[in-house]
Structure 1
Amino acid sequence: MTGTAPRYALYYTPAADSALWRFGSATLGYDAITGTDIAFAVPSGCDGLDWPELTAEPRRYGFHATLKAPFELANGRNEGALRAFARNYVAGRPPVRLTGLSVNALGRFIALTPSEPSDALQRFAFDIVQAFEPFRAPLSQTDLARRLQSPLTPAHRAYLEAYGYPYVGDVFRFHMTLTGSLPDEQVAPVKAALAQAYAQAVPSGPVRIDRVAIFKQESRSRRFLLLDNIPLG
């Protein structure tokens, strides 16, 4: 593949009328439903930072948690078939209940992650990776080289070869990214500020992974847009 075709991804993204969607989208300054910039909700204490720059990378993708990473369509597959398969697949799956989400630092970026581990979520995510694999075109040499720039274990490399993405299966970690990579000295204060903002904006308690979204990127220079957000069950 040349890297010029549209890319698709399978994400979890919350319902458009939820407090979680409003919080994540405002943090990133981007509404992936309309494809438009929106006003930033800069956390208290972060006014002196270049918030648009700190969130530039996750803004390209929209607020989400990756289930199957972006891919070009395999030969013989088309968008209509992908969407139809997704509707049929999702209709037969029950939601996954998490005890909650919390703001954490993953290395140098900040994300929402499950408050407690969930084996059901791990199985759910890997099932999606495998089920939609027939729709994925092989990685281009450029994309493969980009992935290989990261330090990968033998397990990561095996997953990369099998599924086009190294962080699946037992190394998958559900996360909803809120910032790009931060300077070391900003990680702790930005995490604390986002944790406070999240607590104020989103009711505490269980979170249901109750839908699967298809996102589309028309070209590598464009942002991802929501195509479908399909309720489970």
Structure 2
Amino acid sequence: MVEFPSFPGGATDEPDPAAPRYALYVAPEPGSPLAEFGADWLGRDCATGERRVQPAVEGLSADRLAELTESARGYGFHATIKPPFYLRAGRSEDELLAAFADFAKGREPFEVQLGLRSLGGFLALMMTPPDHRMSALAADAVRDLDPFRALPGDSELARRRTAGLSAQQETLLQQWGYPYVMGEFRFHMTLSARLPDGPERDAMVAALTPRAETVTAEPFRVDAVALFKQPRKGADFIQVERFGFGG
């Protein structure tokens, strides 16, 4: 039987499912072509909560497309910088907003080139090529904002471990509450569920490719981070506030 180390301080309480979760994302400016692309494809504008009719995809029914984008739709079109977390006891949302604003003030804008790629079977917009400035942004966010993160409960740890984590990912899970940060970070803006090779994947790629090309021809300017909030377990994440760099 595999044994996992415990967090410092012993076991943690399971979070209240009625409590909100927060995350720091890189997301396109609401109303921009990239934001509209993501909202249309996923069927929801994460800045307003507006539901949208998804495009027709040859070879897929509307219901099947909705199913294949369900998870990404709930999180909103974004790239994760600090993964979703519950607030640590004694911390407030106002304090978190102020910390996010201060974090953004110390950053400088930069540009990255995006392209449609596959990450572990998920279709996503990814950097082409990778850029160390994005990795540094994500690492700083995970580290600098960690005092606001409540430690995960046992059920959350167990759920993460079902993916079959490497030794490094287990260490990151223990230290930061999420296995895909720091050296395991991969910038991606998710557009689908995991898809095996086959007709459905081919249909999604064929539909996404021309749409993605229209919004990735020019570099993506990263000049802000956004606070996203999930009001309660199972609810959609919504963009609450954007924090411009150098602000």
Same fold (TM over 0.5): yes
How far off is 1:91 after superposition?
A: 1.3
Partner residue of 2:72 out of 58, 68, 83: 58
Pair 1:46–1:196, CA change in 2 (3 A):
farther
Q: Equivalents in 1 of 2:56, 2:83: separation in Å?
A: 28
Whichever residue aligns with residue 171 of structure 2, its letter is A
Determine the structure 1 residue equivalent to 2:157. 144
**TM-score normalized by structure 2?**
0.88
Q: Who is 1:193 aligned against?
A: 207
Match of 2:94 in 1: 80
Amino acid of the structure 2 residue aligned with 1:227: V
TM-score for both structures, normalised by structure 1: 0.93
1:41-120 pair list within 5 angstroms: 41-43=55-57, 45-48=58-61, 50-98=64-112, 100-120=113-133
Shift of 1:143: 0.9
Tell me the distance in 2 between the aligned counterparts of 1:3 and 1:111: 31
Question: C-alpha distance in 2, partners of 1:214/1:36?
Answer: 18
Deviation at residue 203 of structure 1 after TM alignment: 5.2
**Offset of residue 47 of structure 1:** 4.7
Cα offset, 1:88, TM superposition: 1.5
| Secondary structure, counterpart of 1:31 in structure 2 | coil
Please report how far the alpha carbon of residue 121 of structure 1 lies from its aligned counterpart in structure 2 after TM superposition.
Answer: 1.2
Deviates more, 1:202-211 or 1:83-92: 202-211
Q: Percent identity?
A: 38
Deviation, structure 1 residue 59: 0.8
Any gaps of 5 or more consecutive residues in structure 1? none
Distance 2:59 2:210 in 1: 12
Aligned length: 230
Q: Distance in 2 between matches of 1:183 and 1:94?
A: 39
After TM superposition, list the pairs within 5 Å mapping 1:211-222 onto structure 2.
211-222=224-235
Moved over 6 A (4+): none
Q: 1:35 aligns with which of 37, 40, 49?
A: 49
Quick check: 138-147 or 190-199, which moved more?
190-199
8 Å Cα contact 2:39-2:45 kept in structure 1: yes
Q: Is the 8 A contact 1:112 1:177 kept in 2?
A: yes
Q: Distance in 2 between matches of 1:205 and 1:69?
A: 27
